[in-house]
Amino acid sequence: MEYSYKTKGTCSQQINFKLEGDIVTDIHFVGGCNGNTKGVAALCEGLTVDEIETRLKGIQCGVKGTSCVDQLALAVREALSSVNA
């Protein structure tokens, strides 16, 4: 399943990815710090929703209260929840 998530409070505006069962693939950030978002996408490729959420949820960028990686954790959980609803 392809999923698009509109980010909130970050430099990136959107995160696109595929969810195959609970495995996340083809992660692509729209906007944000190009090198960082590409690096995070590569490191998270093939991980489960639980693995991504455990590693990234709650990480903040400055005083924003969130970050691109935190938004990825929220996005993959939302996608999996929508499939299981």
pLDDT digits (tens, 9 = 90+) for 24-83: 999 999 999 999 999 999 999 999 999 999 999 999 999 999 999 999 999 999 999 998
Q: What is the pLDDT of residue 85?
A: 79
pTM score, two decimals? 0.96
Among residues 68, 53, 78, 57, which one has the least CA distance to residue 12? 68
**Contact 22/50 with Cβ under 8 angstroms?**
yes
Domain definitions of the chain by residue range: 2-84
CATH architecture for residues 2-84: Alpha-Beta Complex (3.90)
Query: Can you spell out the DSSP letters for 23-83?
Result: EEEEEEEEES-HHHHHHHHHHHTT-BHHHHHHHHTT---TTSS--HHHHHHHHHHHHHHHH
Backbone dihedral angles phi then psi of residue 69, each to the nearest 5 degrees: -70, -35
Sign, Cα dihedral of 30, 36, 39, 44: negative
